[in-house]
Amino acid sequence: MQKEISIFLRVFGNSPKLRVLDFLMSFPRFDYSLTDIAKNAKIGYSTLMLFWKRDFVKTGLVIETRKVGKSRMFQINEKNPAVQQLLKLDWALSKYVINKITKKEVAV
């Protein structure tokens, strides 16, 4: 049985980077360890490490929030203008698809 993927991933692709972004955008107020991010995005930890610092931390898409023991916790950086636009786009796509589905059901 194939799991349903989000509208964001359906439209933009199902790559590891986009899976991580999709997961973090789904729960923007929570922070996660890197292990939890990899697990919830359904990618390997070593795959996450290939792009995490270079593409997510250094560009400011994510921020480190705290340390819990040896684990560093991260969350999406809602103050980053690019992240704000991604969140708006994700919401707009969701609303568009829901409206489209609702109109089809009403027309039938």
Report pLDDT digits (tens) over 9-27. 999 999 999 999 999 999 9
Separation of alpha carbons 69 and 76, rounded Å: 21
104 pLDDT band, cuts 50/70/90, is low
Average of pLDDT values for 30-53? 97
Which amino acid is located at 83 in the chain? V
Range of the domain at 88: 7-107
Q: How many domains does the chain have?
A: 1
Please check whether residue 2 lies inside any domain of the structure.
no
CATH number of the CATH domain containing 64: 1.10.10.10
25 with 90: CB under 8 angstroms?
yes
pTM of the model: 0.86
Which amino acid is located at 3 in the chain? K
The two tokens of residue 18 are 């986009």
Please check whether residue 27 lies inside any domain of the structure.
yes
Please check whether residue 1 lies inside any domain of the structure.
no
